[in-house]
Amino acid sequence: MAMIAETSESDTRERVVATAERLFREIGYQKTTVADIARLLRMSPANVYRFFESKRAIYEAVATRLMGEVETAATAIAFETDAPDTRLRRLLSAIHHMNAERYTGDEKIHHMVAMAIEEDWEVCNAHFERITGIVAKVIDDGARQGVFATPDVSLAAMTVTTAMTRFFHPQVIAQCTAKPGPSLDQMVDFVIAALAPRLPAK
């Protein structure tokens, strides 16, 4: 019975998060209230608060869900069997395209993510750390195989994710769309070249 109850609670939490995300897309992050979410779910606001202690907690859960989808896709690429440089290229490109699609293609969701970043939500920091860890996994594979030359994998991963800010960060992606700068492929080429072993001087 306890397991059934736990499953039911988990399902309800998921329904709350899915409904909140739907409303964020339809009427916006700031205009959505817990009462709106409860009404669509045909439950009382008090019942919603049983699963989330505050409205902000619901917003954070939606952000975590969106970011989690990117992390899942990135992890799958990181554990493929292709050459590390091929995987890294695919990984960096996938993160960019998923972030651009999720956050800059939908103005209302973009506003939610922008507010999360401005308020320094812990979910954003945790997401950045996980993405950096996924990148580190591929760089470590490359270092072990001699494809990459880096004495400090963790530092290299942080450097790569920082270098890709223009293509990873939702706000920067939106701000830089029409501004001059390297293309995604050019930036990825630069990153991979920076990780490659140096040729001996002639």
CATH code: domain of residue 46: 1.10.10.60
pLDDT, one tens digit per residue, over 61-97 is 888 888 888 999 999 999 999 999 999 999 999 999 9
pTM value > 0.75? yes
Co-location of 90 and 140 in the same domain? yes
Co-location of 144 and 46 in the same domain? no
Co-location of 158 and 171 in the same domain? yes
Co-location of 62 and 49 in the same domain? no
Q: Which long-range contacts (CB under 8 A, 24 or more apart) does 123-132 make?
A: 123/60, 123/63, 123/64, 123/67, 124/63, 124/67, 127/64, 127/67, 127/70, 127/71, 128/161, 130/71, 131/70, 131/71, 131/74, 131/95, 131/161, 131/168, 132/157, 132/158, 132/161
**Domain membership flag for residue 200:** no
pLDDT, one tens digit per residue, over 160-193 is 999 998 888 776 776 667 778 889 999 999 999 9
Do 61 and 17 form a contact (C-beta atoms < 8 A)? yes
**Domain membership flag for residue 202:** no
pLDDT, one tens digit per residue, over 103-140 is 666 666 666 666 666 666 677 788 889 999 999 999 99
The total of structural domains in the chain comes to 2
* CA–centroid distance for 62 within its chain: 12
CATH code: domain of residue 93: 1.10.357.10
Residue 6 scores a pLDDT above 50? no
Give the pLDDT score at 98.
87
Q: Which structural domain, as residue segments, surrounds residue 76?
A: 55-195
pLDDT, one tens digit per residue, over 12-27 is 889 999 999 889 888 8
Co-location of 162 and 75 in the same domain? yes
The rounded distance, in Å, linking the Cα atoms of 55 and 15 is 15
Co-location of 71 and 31 in the same domain? no
Name the domain boundary from 18, 35, 53: 53
**Domain membership flag for residue 102:** yes
Q: Which long-range contacts (CB under 8 A, 24 or more apart) does 76-80 make?
A: 78/134, 78/135, 78/137, 78/138, 79/137
